[in-house]
Amino acid sequence: MKVGLSLPNFARWLRADEIWAVCEKAKEIGFESLWFVDHMIFTPQQYVGYGNGYMDIWTAMTYVAAVTNIQGWKPMLGQQVCVIPYRPPIQQAKVAATLDSLSGGRLIVGAGTGYNEDEFAALGLNIHERAAMVDEYLKCMIQLWEHPVASFHGKYVNFDEMTISVRPVQQPHPPIIVGARGPRPFRRVAEYCDGWQPGALHPVGGGEMSQPAPDPDPMGRLQSNWADINKLWKEYGRKGKPILKVGGGGHLTTDRALAGETIEKGVQGEGGRTYVSRFTLTHVDDVIATARTQADIGADIWVAGFPSYRYGEFNNLGMFMNQMEIFAEHVLPKIPKG
């Protein structure tokens, strides 16, 4: 597996100097990719759990592309995920092609469907059309990436013989890794995308929850879902194999006595949605075991995610760097790489 790092582009503390420091440390450790998340607009309650400084995903990625260019290393720049319906597809195709061009061909598109009803409503979008929008938007973007002059006709996008001018370095286009579960996303992977990253389950409607319930058998479901995707991949006559990107990490500890403790950041709602980020202290040996199982299932990319809240003696940056160091010493040497 190739090992990547999830950057907290949602955090207020992660700005110019801190981005430089984190990227330098990531280069030193040997991470091969950097990953970013996406939200556009949310309520004050959601703000606490989602992040207190959520940067635009495309802008943050372009900034990090420039930083890593200057630092002299070339990690891939991935999304986990970008909510595709939130941005017009022509604009999004151009931004993506620009980023891929400026970075020297390092973009991995993470195609998400979205789940936050408030966000869709604020953007003037019908959440119940989001799956159809993802398919049409992505197909439009692919047309613009693959053809110097393109035409496209659909429900949401229509144009004849036009160009976005800039072309992505990666041809025919940057890899697209779908970030959702279910028959339609699995078909999307097999029909015209390049890979899959498991997405959390976020029920829509009824005010049930915004955070997914714990999965009683995550590895069993991963293996089953991956088998379904590979079966569809063959049915669509695709060559090679799809990319499987997974993740792990959490609040790492080398103290077995602390493993299992949970730290919560956010707001608990009364009778409605809750927006809480939960981090469980996880022993490094458990992270290694999970990563090895994911590798056996067929994972190609493994992305480490760490907390960056203030903890004990550490400020935000100190906590994140400490977690990276624990990972580098105790986990990275013991997980499959290649």
Per-residue pLDDT band for 11 (boundaries 50, 70, 90) equals: very high
2-334 homologous superfamily: Luciferase-like domain (3.20.20.30)
Given the structure tokens 């409605």, which residue do they identify?
272
Which of 82-86, 169-173, 268-272 comes out lowest in average pLDDT?
268-272
Per-residue pLDDT band for 277 (boundaries 50, 70, 90) equals: confident
Per-residue pLDDT band for 201 (boundaries 50, 70, 90) equals: very low
Per DSSP, helices labelled H in the chain are 16-29, 44-50, 57-71, 89-103, 117-122, 130-146, 183-192, 218-235, 284-297, 316-326
Instruction: Express each pLDDT in 241-253 by its tens digit.
Output: 999 999 998 899 9
Tell me the three state secondary structure of residue 2: strand
Q: Which two tokens stand for residue 257?
A: 């006595």
Answering whether pTM is above 0.85, one says yes
What is the pLDDT, as a whole number, of residue 274?
A: 57
Q: Assess contact for 42 and 13: CB atoms under 8 A.
A: no
Instruction: Express each pLDDT in 103-113 by its tens digit.
Output: 999 999 999 99
What is the mean predicted confidence (pLDDT) over 198-217?
A: 50
Q: Which residues contact 315 (CB under 8 A, 6 or more apart)?
A: 13
Tell me the three state secondary structure of residue 96: helix
User: Is 270's pLDDT higher than 80?
Assistant: no
The Cα 176–Cα 80 span in angstroms is: 11
Question: β-strands 262-267, 275-283: how paired?
Answer: antiparallel
User: Is 173's pLDDT higher than 60?
Assistant: yes
The rounded mean pLDDT for the chain is 92
Which of 47-61, 169-183, 192-206 comes out lowest in average pLDDT?
192-206
User: Is 160's pLDDT higher than 90?
Assistant: yes
Cis omega (within 30 of 0) on the bond before 81? Answer: yes
Cis omega (within 30 of 0) on the bond before 172? Answer: yes
The Cα 275–Cα 210 span in angstroms is: 6
Percent of the chain with pLDDT over 90: 84
Instruction: Express each pLDDT in 62-84 by its tens digit.
Output: 999 999 999 999 999 999 999 99
Q: What residue type is 110 in one-letter code? A: G
Phi then psi for residue 246, to 5 deg, are -125, -175
What is the pLDDT, as a whole number, of residue 273?
A: 53
What is the pLDDT, as a whole number, of residue 52?
A: 82
Given the structure tokens 């931004």, which residue do they identify?
95
* Other residues' Cβ atoms within 10 Å of the Cβ of residue 288: 17
C-alpha closest to that of 14 among 322, 249, 317? 317
Q: Please report, to the nearest 10 degrees, the dihedral formed by the alpha carbons of residues 80, 85, 87, 92 taken in order.
A: 70
C-alpha closest to that of 73 among 109, 31, 107? 31
What is the mean predicted confidence (pLDDT) over 40-61?
A: 86
Phi then psi for residue 144, to 5 deg, are -70, -35
What is the pLDDT, as a whole number, of residue 323?
A: 98
Instruction: Express each pLDDT in 15-39 by its tens digit.
Output: 999 999 999 999 999 999 999 999 9
The Cα 187–Cα 184 span in angstroms is: 5
